[in-house]
Structure 1
């Protein structure tokens, strides 16, 4: 059974390899503009769009798609577009708690499951000079909320409540269980 990862994220690719699966990558071309204010609805909408796009090209494959956002005070933070935006995002997140939501879609034929995982992340207080130093790296610019828990910024994360891999962009336990269910023939909606 071919597995298709519908993502351009290097972290999701790394996490799929960590689980131990061989897979191909197909990058969905969809509009990810934030028009929905409810974080769960937003990530579900985006992941369903990604899944539909990939399923059109790989109708007999196991499809894995995900979308991750950071939410602070009901404000959805996507990927920063520039240094100023990255600075403002980190400034909002520092010295407080925020939530990371990842929607994961697993699809095989007519079988489709969408899960939304939530993790709370606590960030230490930061000086403006520390934020400036961080945004001058290349790390913030392709990540929701402008940081990577597994990267340079990890030293500022005090604790998390929830799935570490969810914050990286792919809750691997969910993905593993669903793919194994499909491979063992435990689903019947093909």
Structure 2
């Protein structure tokens, strides 16, 4: 049995290792993400994480475990993914300035014919930001590969007044939720134990 992370995100790799997941390999899902219009943010991240897991599962063995995730930021009914360019990052950060938003991460775990998908939601509050602060933060390059154009685990931490919910979910992987899902496929990250297929 191999454990496969269907993501190229370095944050997700770090969190999976931090959880104590036994040796895993990274096989990023490269296909185009397709979602039906009208989905809620929670439904969207679940659909996208499921698509990623299904894409990579085709390359996996029948006993391999595939883990996939997708994260978005939602505010005023708008979904913020990764910014297209610095101007888009500035738009997102201006929208988030001085208010609360919700970070959603969908997670899918597959092993053979077993598949489970769930999501986590975390409320995040930004302090008011000046345009010069937004420009300075964008100049670091950090916002460009992150949903909502900020990284709470990096310099973006100085933008956040507080959170309500799971911190690691904001980074991109809800570790407590994932640990429970892995137990369902026979992997206990606390004991390092592995059981048979579900």
Q: TM-score, normalised by structure 1?
A: 0.94
Asked if residue 82 in structure 1 is aligned to residue 82 in structure 2, the reply is no
Q: Pick the aligned partner of 1:138 from 122, 138, 141.
A: 141
Q: Pick the aligned partner of 1:40 from 34, 39, 42.
A: 42
Question: Aligned equivalents of 2:157 and 2:102: distance in 1?
Answer: 16
State the partner residue of 2:61. 59
Q: CA deviation at 1:42?
A: 1.2
* Alignment length (residue pairs): 188
Asked if residue 28 in structure 1 is aligned to residue 29 in structure 2, the reply is yes
State the partner residue of 2:189. none
Task: Specify every segment of 5 or more residues in structure 1 that has no aligned partner in the other structure, as ranges.
Answer: none
Contact 1:36/1:42, CA 8 A, preserved across alignment: no
State the partner residue of 1:13. 13
Q: SS state of the match for residue 67, structure 1? A: strand
State the partner residue of 1:163. 166
Q: SS state of the match for residue 57, structure 1? A: coil
Question: Aligned equivalents of 1:68 and 1:85: distance in 2?
Answer: 18
Question: Aligned equivalents of 1:121 and 1:175: distance in 2?
Answer: 21
Question: Aligned equivalents of 1:80 and 1:67: distance in 2?
Answer: 15
Question: How large is the RMSD of aligned CA atoms in angstroms?
Answer: 1.5
State the partner residue of 1:100. 103
CA displacement, residues 140-180 of structure 1 (integer Å, 9 cap, x when unaligned)? 01100000011101011011111000000001112222223
Q: CA deviation at 1:29?
A: 1.5
Q: Pick the aligned partner of 1:118 from 116, 121, 136.
A: 121
Task: Specify every segment of 5 or more residues in structure 2 that has no aligned partner in the other structure, as ranges.
Answer: 187-193
Question: Aligned equivalents of 1:122 and 1:155: distance in 2?
Answer: 11
Question: Aligned equivalents of 1:46 and 1:34: distance in 2?
Answer: 7
Contact 1:97/1:122, CA 8 A, preserved across alignment: yes
Question: Aligned equivalents of 1:145 and 1:101: distance in 2?
Answer: 11
Q: SS state of the match for residue 112, structure 1? A: strand
Bigger shift: residues 166-175 or 28-37: 28-37
Question: Aligned equivalents of 2:24 and 2:164: distance in 1?
Answer: 30
> 1:164-183 to 2 correspondence within 5 Å?
164-183=167-186
